[in-house]
Amino acid sequence: LAPGKNVLQVENKLMKRIPKDYQVDAHHWLILHGRYVCKARNPDCAQCIVEPLCSYRHKTNQGKIRGAV
C-alpha cells in the first residue's frame, strides 16, 4: 500500500493515498486487517480486499494460488 524505508515515509505515503475523511478510521481498519486477514504466519490472501495492491502476495502460497486463477 505504501512502501518506504522508514515509518515516516510509509506514513506520508499512506496519508496521500487515504482521503482525509477516512484517515482516522483507516488506522483502525489497517490494524484489524493485519490482525484478522494479513497475519504474518498465515496470511489469508483469498479473503484480502487489498490483495491487488499488495507487493508481497507473490511471496505467499495463497497469493500465488490466487494469482494463478
pLDDT digits (tens, 9 = 90+) for 13-62: 999 999 999 999 999 999 999 999 999 888 888 899 988 888 876 777 65
- pLDDT surpasses 70 at 9: yes
Looking up cell 490466487, which residue turns up?
66
Contacts of 55 (CB under 8 A, 6+ apart): 3
Looking up cell 504466519, which residue turns up?
41
Confidence of residue 69 (pLDDT cuts 50, 70, 90): very low
Residues 69, 47 within the same domain? yes
pLDDT at 55: 81
Residues 29, 53 within the same domain? no
If one counts the domains in the chain, the total is 2
Residues 31, 54 within the same domain? no
Confidence of residue 63 (pLDDT cuts 50, 70, 90): low
Residues 3, 26 within the same domain? yes
Residues 24, 49 within the same domain? no
Output DSSP code: residue 41: S
Residues 5, 20 within the same domain? yes
- Give residue 54's domain range: 42-69
User: What pTM did the predictor assign?
Assistant: 0.69
